């Protein structure tokens, strides 16, 4: 089993730092309290914002706020006139005229609530990222490498607000009643990637074994390659899932295992040029999401079987096994969601389990590979330079 491979065995001589891990190995000064908790809170907030984004999309609430006011938009309308003004802005857009012409102010306030809560949670997340980052930085807690990693993540996080508006704008034009699917995909993938990297930083820091992996990468290489492959496939599958959701493809072909009564749906290549089908033809997008799910499922169990040959015992605890189980559950949930024509509850559960599966893939990666550059720290803490 992987945990007992010499290359991944815990280092008995190393004392854990006061975070209970080895954060100094990834560039944190030893006396920087709260860092692990901060990362864990950030991961939880990103996951919560993703879920709220899912609810916003599934309740068709995403176009209810037709402006981008990053600061003043944090406050809701405060009077009856303000509400009426906000509603009349929504009444100008095609979605109101074509999809919701009979909507009342009361109904509008409901969809508005979801979009506003999603935006405000994202604002809170931005502050929870930025302010502690500045405090840690001013206290000289990071070395250059850790600072750069976190700063790049912060930039991408900040950009996400802009990307959100770029996505919403695409649904306000005269020819559309929903946002452009591939913009929705970008808007989903940025936080998925951020969550993955932050979770990897957290896990690497918490792991007492990172130095050992780094020092003997040869032994872990095949496991590491499999984990990288599975992680890449999972990310690609999240991307296809986002396109499936963005194209509302889960409400079009609801038969399974066939699609529209055929192995490959007839309208797979209806659009020209061909590549348009890959992002905005619901039949092609859903078909690709199905096929990649089967591939991922097969790859996950194959990887487990290959490493289990070496492991012999304790397989249930193994991250390869956990990952294969997660993918199986997620595929089953995907099928049930599809057959039910994507009801909100199931579609949301499929999105949440998708995020958990992604975290399972990151765990697999961190257990088998030195994902972040780590260094031996036992006697050399004082030799690292920290930024102030």
Q: Which residues bind ligand HEM (CB under 6 A)?
A: 54, 188, 234, 237-238, 241-242, 244-245, 250, 256, 289-290, 293, 296, 327, 330-331, 334-335, 337-338, 342, 347, 350-351, 354, 357
User: In whole angstroms, what is the distance from residue 377 CA to residue 105 CA?
Assistant: 61
Q: How many CB atoms lie within 10 A of CB 91?
A: 15
Quick one: 19 or 289, whose CB is closer to ligand HEM?
289
User: What is the distance between the terminal CA atoms of the chain, rounded to a whole angstrom?
Assistant: 43
For the bound state, the minimum distance from the C-beta of residue 343 to ligand HEM, rounded and expressed in Å, comes to 9
Cβ–Cβ < 8 Å for 277, 268: yes
Minimum CB–partner distance for residue 330 and ligand HEM (Å) = 4
CA distance 38 to 31: 15
Q: In the beta sheet, which residues pair with residue 386?
A: 143
Q: Which is nearer to ligand HEM, 289 or 318 (CB)?
A: 289
Shortest Å distance, C-beta 23 to ligand HEM = 30
User: Can you tell me the distance from the alpha carbon of 193 to that of 235, in angstroms, rounded to the nearest whole number?
Assistant: 8
- Residue 205 or 354: the one with the smaller Cβ distance to ligand HEM is 354
Q: Is 160 or 337 the residue whose CB approaches ligand HEM more closely?
A: 337
Query: Between vectors from CA 129 to CA 26 and to CA 371, what angle results, nearest 5°?
Result: 30
CB of 239 to ligand HEM, least distance (A): 8
Minimum gap (Å) between residue 136 Cβ and ligand HEM: 32
Give the nearer residue to ligand HEM in terms of CB position, either 141 or 188: 188
Compare residues 296 and 374 and give the one whose CB is closer to ligand HEM: 296
Cβ density class 44-60: b for 16+ within 10 Å, e for less: ebbbebbbbbbbbbbbe
- Least distance (Å) between residue 375 CB and ligand HEM: 34
SS in 3 state form for 300-325?
HHHHHHHHHHHHCCCHHHCHHHHHHH
Distances from the Cα of 234 to the Cα of 185, 186, 229, angstroms: 14, 16, 9
Nearer to ligand HEM, 333 or 372 (CB): 333
Smallest gap, in angstroms, from Cβ of residue 26 to ligand HEM?
Answer: 28
């Amino acid at each position: 089993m992987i945990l007992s491979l010499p290359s991944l065995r815990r280092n008995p001589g190393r004392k854990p730092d006061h975070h209970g891990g080895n954060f100094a190995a990834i560039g944190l000064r030893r006396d920087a309290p709260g860092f692990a908790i901060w990362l864990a809170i950030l991961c939880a907030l990103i996951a919560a914002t993703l879920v709220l984004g899912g609810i916003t999309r599934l309740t068709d609430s995403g176009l209810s706020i037709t402006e981008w006011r990053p600061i003043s938009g944090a406050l809701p309308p405060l009077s009856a006139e303000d509400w009426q003004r906000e509603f009349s802005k929504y009444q100008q857009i095609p979605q109101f005229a074509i999809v919701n012409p009979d909507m009342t102010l009361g109904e509008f306030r409901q969809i508005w609530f979801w979009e506003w809560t999603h935006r405000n949670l994202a604002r809170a997340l931005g502050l929870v990222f930025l302010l502690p980052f500045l405090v840690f930085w001013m206290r000289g807690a990071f070395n250059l490498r850790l600072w750069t990693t976190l700063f790049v993540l912060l930039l991408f996080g900040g950009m996400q607000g802009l990307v959100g508006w770029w996505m919403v704008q695409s649904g306000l034009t005269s020819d559309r009643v929903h946002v452009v699917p591939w913009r929705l995909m970008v808007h989903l993938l940025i936080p998925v990637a951020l969550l993955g990297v932050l979770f990897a930083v957290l896990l690497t820091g918490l792991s007492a074994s990172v130095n050992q992996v780094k020092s003997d990468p040869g032994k872990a290489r095949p496991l590491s390659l499999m984990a990288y492959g599975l992680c890449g496939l999972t990310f690609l599958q999240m991307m296809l899932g986002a396109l499936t959701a963005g194209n509302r493809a889960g409400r079009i072909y609801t038969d399974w295992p066939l699609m529209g009564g055929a192995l490959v749906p007839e309208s797979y290549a209806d659009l020209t040029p061909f590549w348009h089908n890959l992002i905005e033809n619901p039949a092609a997008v859903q078909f690709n999401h199905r096929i990649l799910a089967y591939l991922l499922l097969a790859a996950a169990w194959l990887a487990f079987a290959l490493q289990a040959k070496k492991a012999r015992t304790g397989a249930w605890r193994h991250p390869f096994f956990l990952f294969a189980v997660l993918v199986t559950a997620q595929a089953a949930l995907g099928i049930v969601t599809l057959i039910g024509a994507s009801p909100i509850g199931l579609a949301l559960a499929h999105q949440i389990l998708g995020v958990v599966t992604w975290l399972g893939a990151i765990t697999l990666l961190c257990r088998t590979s030195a994902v972040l550059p780590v260094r031996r720290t036992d006697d050399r803490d004082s030799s690292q330079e920290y930024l102030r």
